Chain A
Amino acid sequence: GAVVSQHPSWVICKSGTSVKIECRSLDFQATTMFWYRQFPKQSLMLMATSNEGSKATYEQGVEKDKFLINHASLTLSTLTVTSAHPEDSSFYICSARDRIGGETQYFGPGTRLLVL
């Protein structure tokens, strides 16, 4: 149980294009999903909190117009990196909290983004 998937697992794009990453909770409903960014050999940095049916809340320093988050249903949240640049290259990981008894975050496998 408590499986979270991400798609795609790898994406390479040209500078200036937009990239969408999907995060799905496969066997539970997620009231809240979180988006993290991880640089090589570093810890996870929370970017934003995504709540179903409402606007995402972004951490300080994260550009909300750059990283668009949509939580369309209780099982799907998307992160769109708009007008991507090489400095946006990173490992993006999502997590989801179960709607019932949701103290625990379950993590997806991550998406590696490379912007050329």
Chain B
Amino acid sequence: AQSVTQPDIHITVSEGASLELRCNYSYGATPYLFWYVQSPGQGLQLLLKYFSGDTLVQGIKGFEAEFKRSQSSFNLRKPSVHWSDAAEYFCAVGGSSNDYKLSFGAGTTVTVRA
């Protein structure tokens, strides 16, 4: 079975401060890991993904994530948050062993204060 846990339901961060969103996954084989962002009433936009290779992956909008197999984690980070980063963030896991179906975490809502 595959699953994702995002422990933080809501995070508030000041503009310009750093942001880290936590993600822990469970997957029986080599996982494909994703971070998506969703603005209110919108679909999901892919921020970054990890399949293999370098465990630190760079994404769009200045985001990066680090895959740590020993901790079953794939945390998302941004050094300096902008007001436009306020959104819902979803971590997802999938892979070839399950026809690439994705399991999503519950999501983390990020609020940015001025």
Q: Which residues from chain A sit less than 8 Å from chain B, CB to CB?
A: 4, 6, 32, 34, 42-44, 46, 49, 91, 93, 95, 97, 102-110, 112
Query: Complex formed: what's the CA distance from A106 to B44 in Å?
Result: 8
Which residue, of A91, A97, A104, A108, has the highest number of chain B Cβ atoms within 10 A? A104
Contact (A104, B43) CB under 8 Å given A43-B105, A43-B107, A97-B100: no
B44, B51, B105, B106: the one contacting A107 at CB < 8 Å is: B44
Category for how many chain B residues contact A: 20 to 34
Are B43 and A43 interface neighbours, CB within 8 A? no
- Known: A43-B90, A107-B36. Contact between A102 and B43, CB under 8 A? no
Q: Report B-chain residues with C-beta under 8 Å of the C-beta of A49.
A: 99, 101
Bound Cα distance A44, B32 (Å): 17
Looking at A44, A108, A109, A112, the one whose CB has the most chain B CB atoms below 10 A away is A44
Separation of A46 and B36 alpha carbons in the complex (Å): 15
Q: Please give the distance in Å from A75's CB to the nearest CB on chain B.
A: 17
Cβ contact within 8 Å between A109 and B102: no
Take A104-B34, A110-B42 as given contacts and tell me if A42 and B100 are in contact as well, using a CB distance cutoff of 8 Å: no
Nearest chain B CB to A32 CB, angstrom units = 7
